[in-house]
Chain A
Amino acid sequence: NAGVTQTPKFRVLKTGQSMTLLCAQDMNHEYMYWYRQDPGMGLRLIHYSVGEGTTAKGEVPDGYNVSRLKKQNFLLGLESAAPSQTSVYFCASTRPAGWYTEAFFGQGTRLTVV
């Protein structure tokens, strides 16, 4: 099993450009999440999904959109990138309540907006 796979691993964008980060998991997990990691701030939740076709805002959702068209995939979109979105982005997945164990993380996407 690959677990949680993020694509791409690195990307440089110009201000105003758009891009989509892809997260794929092969563990049949219901819940998926997007976090961003910034120095000295730990990881902060951007958006999450509790099932196919559902999404919800996390702690820092502004400037991002998400979609969960298939259970195994969770996409994070930046419509108009800003330098403040320079960060490392992590996707994670877990099983639902009652079966909850821990979150499994991807390897991260390092995004630089210039």
Chain B
Amino acid sequence: AQSVTQPDIHITVSEGASLELRCNYSYGATPYLFWYVQSPGQGLQLLLKYFSGDTLVQGIKGFEAEFKRSQSSFNLRKPSVHWSDAAEYFCAVGAGGTSYGKLTFGQGTILTVHP
């Protein structure tokens, strides 16, 4: 069975500082990997996705993530955080075929940004 672990429940950074959110997954084949962001009281917005090819993927809002197969990781990064980035971030793994696109989510990481 697939699983996702986000080791950090809560991260606090200062505005302008760099950010890295960790994500480790367990999946038997090549996974589809996603990062979603959720602002308070809102739905989930896709930041970026990895299906195949280049292991460094660019997303919206200046975010990027790197797929490292040897470490089973898909960490999210941003070089300079803005106050509007404060939200909860979810890493998810999915697959096509007979998995029918079902997603397994990590527990989420809450990001607080200090001015």
Q: Which residues of A contact B (CB under 8 A)?
A: 31, 33, 35, 40-45, 48, 50, 58, 90, 92, 94-98, 100-103, 105-108
Contact = CB atoms under 8 A, between A and B. Distances in A.
Nearest to B49: A102
Contacts of B43: 90, 105-108
B101 A100 contact: yes
User: Which residue among A45, A92, A102 has the maximum number of chain B CB atoms within 10 Å of its CB?
Assistant: A102
A45 B42 contact: no
B66 to A, nearest CB: 18
A43 B103 contact: yes
A103 B90 contact: no
A31 B105 contact: no
Interface string B90-115: 10101011001111111110000000
23 contacts: A31-B101, A33-B101, A33-B103, A35-B105, A43-B92, A44-B105, A45-B104, A48-B102, A90-B43, A96-B100, A97-B97, A97-B101, A98-B96, A100-B51, A100-B96, A101-B49, A102-B34, A102-B46, A102-B49, A105-B36, A105-B43, A105-B44, A108-B43
Interface of B: 4, 9, 32, 34, 36, 42-44, 46, 49, 51, 90, 92, 94, 96-97, 100-108
Contacts of B104: 45
Contacts of A98: 96
Contacts of B9: 40
B100 A103 contact: no
A42 B105 contact: yes
A45 B101 CA distance: 11
Given A97-B97, A105-B44, A108-B43, A40 B102 contact: no
B42 A103 contact: no
